[in-house]
Amino acid sequence: MSSSAEVAKGVTNSIQEYLQSLPRQTFDQLYAQPATCLATLRLLPPIAKQVVMRLLYTQKPVAKADVEVWCFPDHRGDLQDSLSKLSRLHICTDYEEHLQMNRIFQENFHNALVGGGDHVSFGQPMNDNKGEVDIALLDRHAAESWETVLHQLVGTPGDRRPKAVTKLLLASGLQEFPDDGGYSETNEHQKMNITSKGFQFLLLDVNVQVWSLLLQYLGLAERQLNMDIVQVLNFLFQIGSLELGQAYSVEPLTDTQRRVMEDLKYFGIFYQRTKKSRKFYPTRMATSLTSGSMVSSRKPEDSQGYIIVETNFRMYAYTDSPLQIAILSLFVSLQARFQNMVTGLITRDAIREALTKGITSDQIITYLTAHAHPELKKQSPILPQTVIDQIRLWEMERNRLRLSGAWLYSDFTDLNEFTQIVNYAEPLGAVLWKNEKRRTLAVTEEGHENVKSFRKRAAAARAGGAGR
Amino acid sequence: MSCAEDINLLAVVVDTNPAAWAAAASDPDRPLDFVKIIEQLLIFINAHLSLKFDNELAIIASHADQSQFLYPLPPADPLDAADDEPSKPANVYKQFFDVDRAVVSKLKELVDDKRTKSAEHENRSMVAGSLALALSYINRIKRANENNSVQSRILILSISPDLPSQYIPTMNCIFAAQKVSTRIDVCRFSGRKYGGESVFLPQASHITAGIYLDIPEPSNLLQYLLYTFLPEPSMRKTLLLPHKDQVDFRAACFCHKNVVDVGYVCSVCLSIFCSLSKKCPTCQTVFPAPK
Amino acid sequence: MATASKPAAKVATNGATKKAAPPIDDEDSHGLMGASGQGYSWEEEYKRSWDVLQEDEQGSLVGAVNSIQMQMKRRRLNKDTKVVQRGIIRHLYLVIDLSRAMAELDLKPSRVECTLALAEQFVAEYFDQNPLSQLGVIITRDALAEKLTELSGNPTDHVDVIRKKANREPRGEPSLQNALDLARTSLAHVPAHASREILVLYASLTTCDPDNIIDTIDALRRNEIRVSVVGLSAEVQVCKTICKETKGTYRVVMNEGHFKELLFENIPPPPIAMAQNMSNLIKMGFPITRNFDPPTLCACHHKPIRKGYACPGCSSTICDIPTDCPVCALTLVSSPLLARSYHHLFPVDNYKEVIPGPPLPDVLATTATPLAGHCFACLQAFAPKAGASNAALVGLRSARYECGRCMNSFCWDCDVYVHEVLHSCPGCVNR
């Protein structure tokens, strides 16, 4: 559980970081939409949320000292962090020791709470008379589309290769053209290779995968597609507030937002019955975008874990999905494939191969834990301790050699000089290696200057002493 | 901060006793407008829902002769299945819209209900019954989310006087809440013609480590709610919140349901009486004659 | 060779039977067999527990497992709900045998570990349910009895001594008589309106006594002390006699789960059996809390306190309750302390299971009162009764239980919750 909590936190942080990089004017435009205000609030740490709520119906600026006493003394630090976060997101501005809430945010968040104001930021629902689209269909659509994206990433041959997906995978550095790639006549058909970043990406939680791609998309939209970033962001935050299984009208969307929807359809975030349809349906991926928590943990049963790992390093995976098998084959040496399961062995070679691709042992362990079979999840720890330890040891094995720049000192005149310099250098932490018999000494790059000058001084003193 | 990932369940118990609200509306000093109070409560509830995507909610009306869920609605309630369901306007968040609609329509139903107009249950409010429903609901949510930890709390908006006949069920509910570490927060209105001092509710918040607050200025209810009752239980370690110092641990006697500070207790069954008697009416023990 | 190996093989099977039996027994003997099927683990036949599970038509076990779970829950619930006299102010000595016999490993991880772990739980639960009662702990080993704690109302004291390492090492012979006498003399001064009890956890089959234990039994009877024994190995005649004479209970455990069950049976206050009980009305005060700034000296310990209670009789300042007022000698309690015991006195009636009949003909269906579609308390919808395909599963979800007084329907989870935790019927309270 805690690992998924950390993952969620990671997502929240990366969104916040992105937002903080935006200029102030953008924020004012963003906060004009109540849905955005709501979504931003949910990204905040718990204390900041309470501060916002308390300031929401306060018209006058509040003295900072007054805010400080809201907290117990030993939590003042957390409060300060929250306040600085608020001011970086331009929800609150502080001047002259006073805290003033952004008027635009204040007004529109109030509108969100009471359902007032003249805006369509929570989506215009439409009646779905035919009732053909149900939640199961949406889930299936989302899962299939996302799987297609991942398949494209691992390079499974397939025919559906939307340009938007290709572009995004490339831009995010998950895929790259092969180095020798001399031919570039048709970009679409060119085989692209997965990068080590891409391998790491595969092992992430779906929510994190979606968000990291979306953040890349934002960057792409701004730089290459010439979209208005405010409209894109507002749209992303809006879809987080939509209801699963409900049809929404395309009408209120701006042209930019329609383009975004077109692009994101390929990732399974939306569903449209036909391309020209006036309605769109958000999928579970969309509605859980801004939930800030792992919706996957409360998903229906079909997303249950399927991996069993035994203490003898055998792995059984109850899956027939080529994608999951492909991912597993990254770090497990697969032995047999049956109709509904594959078996394999977690071997040193397989793990080392994964490690050389830039995948870390933590990622492997997290992946195995996150997708553990319900039976396995009853145990504590979920994975056998031996397996966890061994995977970590295999990783540490690769780190036996560490390269560091050094200066070699040799040809000391006598043992005395050698020990003198060693005694000087050792407290500095500058000695990497020494050999008393051969009177050689390796010194770190950082320590070199000090040791050099000390040696000079010592040599001068010795020469002076000898001369006298 | 793993507690930030918990599911937060807020159960609100609203005292809807018509007699008390009628008295409160005509209070000379601090008139209370039921509709305005409910409006502010709804904003508070929306604020609770807006804090996190998966925050859970239950609202229960504690009426004069019954307790009723205002939200969530019972399954297959006609309101839910109604064909003429008004479609959600584009400027309202779906979750807020559902809650507001359910609460308002259910409250209307309650107020219009003819049965409650009879004089026999004038000034009563089924707080214990509502607490029992809230706890059962909390228990269900906790069971349904065994893998995630659920933080639950109960907020009582109270205006009616204590109902001594509900002493035992109220205490039972308090202990049940304490067992699952569910805090009971109490928000109490009192004016010259309504409210008055409650004995049971401060005990409820004291035993369960909740907050008891007398609302001095009902027109600012929303600010009180947002300041004091919005922080989820995990925040209570961080934020300084008001707490009531003096708690009345007096009990109601079993014979006349009077609140006593010195009473006689049957050694067999611990029933409390306000005067000496020969035989315990609860457990039929015959006491030796006082010397 | 063949003849020689035969007895050995037999021994092995016996051993296996004994070892294999407890876990199976633990899980289902109570649930499936009911009281009639109970036996000691070493007497049990090798039971094929999997035979009880029947696959349904889809080959699923879910239904079968659920219905077994439900049976177990129901069994626990059908308690006696009669209103009886119970001695709620109790004084109890917990006597723990720490003789060599405790070192046996037939309970997991060992008799002593299992016993002391359960004793800790017992202490906590005892004070939770009997807030006005007191408890003391006595151990017996090396033919001596040692009082670890005096009677007191503070659970942490008792748990601390139980956890102390020196008090966890079994050795020597136990002395039942010494332990009982020590407890008896300690209980002698207890006021007459309170019940006096001794609960012995006894593992040994022998006792090493200085005198005739029959005299002790007489003395116990004279002092109206009730002795209950939970035996860990086999039934012992002398224990049986003591319990019979003092109107206590004597039970012998079969396995860990059963041990806990037997021990915890001693937590609800026992019905008052003795005719000459000295029940009385006790005058008690219910003080209110006070905060003092600057701190005031309390009347009981003369220590400065910031938070305390004021005696309603004489207004003197007390630092903690329950206690007797040092000035006017009024017994001071808080109403929550008393209220904790009320559910023993006013138990909720058992709910009746409602079995929905076959759908009524249309004419009747309109006139008959419709069954509620959801649980009254938690709004859980009752599943409509489907075909017989997975009847057990549907039976579980659609099972409804009705309160005989308010006629509301509850789901089975709420039934359990109401009777085990809430102790008030949500339907009845709302009337």
How far is A294 from A6, CA to CA, in rounded Å?
Answer: 10
**Is B49 part of a structural domain of the chain?**
yes
- Closest listed residue to residue C347, CA positions, set A173, B169, B115, A459: B169
pLDDT in tens, A350-387: 998 888 888 888 888 888 888 888 888 877 788 889 99
Query: What pLDDT sits at residue C273?
Result: 55
* Cis bond upstream, residue A73 (ω within 30): no
Mean model confidence pLDDT for chain A: 81
- Considering the domain architecture, whether residues C154 and C303 belong to the same structural domain is answered as no
Query: What pLDDT sits at residue B115?
Result: 58
Number of folded domains that form chain C: 4
- Considering the domain architecture, whether residues C174 and C214 belong to the same structural domain is answered as yes
DSSP C83-101: ---B--SEEEEEEEE-SGG
| Statement: A406-467 belongs to CATH 3.30.70.2610 | yes
Q: Are A263 and A145 contacting, i.e. CB atoms less than 8 angstroms apart? A: no
Task: Let me know if chains C and B touch, i.e. at least 3 Cβ pairs under 8 angstroms.
Answer: yes
C378-403 average pLDDT score: 61
φ, ψ of residue C242 to 5 degrees: the values are -55, -50
- Considering the domain architecture, whether residues C251 and C215 belong to the same structural domain is answered as yes
The answer to whether C329 faces chain B, any CB pair under 8 Å, is no
Lowest mean pLDDT among A151-160, B206-215, C175-184, C398-407: A151-160
Enumerate the residues of chain B whose CB falls inside 8 A of the CB of residue A38. 50, 93
Task: Give residues with Cβ within 8 angstroms of A15, minimum separation 6.
Answer: A43, A211, A215
- Considering the domain architecture, whether residues B280 and B149 belong to the same structural domain is answered as no
Mean model confidence pLDDT for chain C: 75
pLDDT in tens, A249-278: 888 888 888 888 888 888 888 888 877 788
φ, ψ of residue A53 to 5 degrees: the values are -60, -35
- Helix H segments across A44-75? 46-56, 64-68
Share of chain B above pLDDT 70, in %: 85
Burial B211-241 (b: 16+ CB within 10 A, else e): bbbbbeebeebbbbbbbbbbbbbbbbebbee
Lowest mean pLDDT among A284-293, B34-43, C91-100, C152-161: A284-293
Query: What pLDDT sits at residue B289?
Result: 60
pLDDT in tens, A281-329: 888 777 777 664 444 433 444 456 788 999 999 999 998 888 888 888 8
Confidence of residue C98 (pLDDT cuts 50, 70, 90): very high
State the residue range of the domain holding B54: 2-237
- Return the H-helix or E-strand segment holding A210: helix A206-223
- Considering the domain architecture, whether residues C131 and C224 belong to the same structural domain is answered as yes
B166-186 average pLDDT score: 88
Beta bridge partner(s), residue C229: C200, C250
C429 and B166 in contact by Cβ < 8 A?
yes
Query: What pLDDT sits at residue A185?
Result: 42
pLDDT in tens, A36-73: 888 888 888 888 889 899 888 888 888 888 888 888 88
Give helix C256-264 / helix C111-129 axis angle, nearest 10°. Answer: 30
Q: What is the CATH number for C97?
A: 3.40.50.410
B93 and A241 in contact by Cβ < 8 A?
yes
B31-43 average pLDDT score: 88
Beta bridge partner(s), residue C323: C332
Record the tokens describing residue C99, joined without a space.
């003789």
Please provide the CATH number assigned to the domain covering A16-32+34-114. 1.10.10
B94 and A122 in contact by Cβ < 8 A?
yes
C328-353 average pLDDT score: 79
**Is B245 part of a structural domain of the chain?**
no
C413 and B69 in contact by Cβ < 8 A?
no
How far is A193 from A79, CA to CA, in rounded Å?
Answer: 46
A298 and B54 in contact by Cβ < 8 A?
yes
pLDDT in tens, B4-19: 467 889 999 999 888 8
State the residue range of the domain holding C19: 2-46+58-77
Query: What pLDDT sits at residue A397?
Result: 85
Candidates A56, A120, A292; nearest CB to B90: A120
Query: What pLDDT sits at residue A99?
Result: 86
Q: Which of B91, B94, B99, B227 to mutate to test the interface with A (most CBs of A within 10 A)?
A: B91
pLDDT in tens, C237-279: 999 999 999 988 999 998 888 898 889 888 888 776 544 455 6
Confidence of residue A129 (pLDDT cuts 50, 70, 90): low
pLDDT in tens, B195-210: 777 878 888 888 888 8
| C-alpha distances in Å from residue B199, one per residue of A10, B63, C335 | 48, 19, 11
Query: What pLDDT sits at residue B135?
Result: 93
Extents of the domains making up chain A = 16-32+34-114, 125-295, 305-398, 406-467
**Is B227 part of a structural domain of the chain?**
yes
pLDDT at C204 over 60: yes
**Is B243 part of a structural domain of the chain?**
no
- Considering the domain architecture, whether residues B34 and B146 belong to the same structural domain is answered as yes
| Residue A112, burial from CB neighbour count under 10 angstroms (0-12, 13-18, 19+) | buried
**Alpha-carbon gap: B90 to the closest alpha carbon of chain C (Å):** 30
A297 and B90 in contact by Cβ < 8 A?
no
Task: Give residues with Cβ within 8 angstroms of A274, minimum separation 6.
Answer: none
Task: Give residues with Cβ within 8 angstroms of A62, minimum separation 6.
Answer: A55, A98, A99, A100
- Considering the domain architecture, whether residues C199 and C251 belong to the same structural domain is answered as yes
- Considering the domain architecture, whether residues C253 and C303 belong to the same structural domain is answered as no
The answer to whether A8 faces chain B, any CB pair under 8 Å, is yes
Number of CB pairs < 8 Å for A and B?
A: 126
- Return the H-helix or E-strand segment holding A16: helix A2-20
B238 and A47 in contact by Cβ < 8 A?
yes
C193 and B267 in contact by Cβ < 8 A?
yes
Q: Are A94 and A80 contacting, i.e. CB atoms less than 8 angstroms apart? A: no
- Considering the domain architecture, whether residues C369 and C422 belong to the same structural domain is answered as yes
* Cis bond upstream, residue A381 (ω within 30): yes
* Cis bond upstream, residue B290 (ω within 30): no
Query: What pLDDT sits at residue C357?
Result: 55
Enumerate the residues of chain A whose CB falls inside 8 A of the CB of residue B226. 53-54, 56-57
Sign of CA dihedral B34, B35, B40, B43: positive
Number of folded domains that form chain B: 2
Establish how many alpha carbons lie within 13 A of residue B54's alpha carbon, considering only the half-sphere containing its beta carbon: 21
Q: Are A174 and A197 contacting, i.e. CB atoms less than 8 angstroms apart? A: yes
pLDDT in tens, A406-464: 888 888 888 888 888 888 888 888 888 888 888 888 888 888 888 888 888 888 887 77
Candidates A45, A57, A118; nearest CB to B222: A57
Enumerate the residues of chain B whose CB falls inside 8 A of the CB of residue A292. 52-53
pLDDT in tens, A271-291: 888 777 888 888 877 777 766
Contact partners for chain B, using 3 or more CB pairs closer than 8 A, are A, C
Q: Which residue of B has its CA nearest to A45?
A: B4
pLDDT at A149 over 90: no
Give helix A135-154 / helix A163-171 axis angle, nearest 10°. Answer: 60
**Alpha-carbon gap: A404 to the closest alpha carbon of chain B (Å):** 38
Contact partners for chain C, using 3 or more CB pairs closer than 8 A, are B
SS3 state at A466: helix
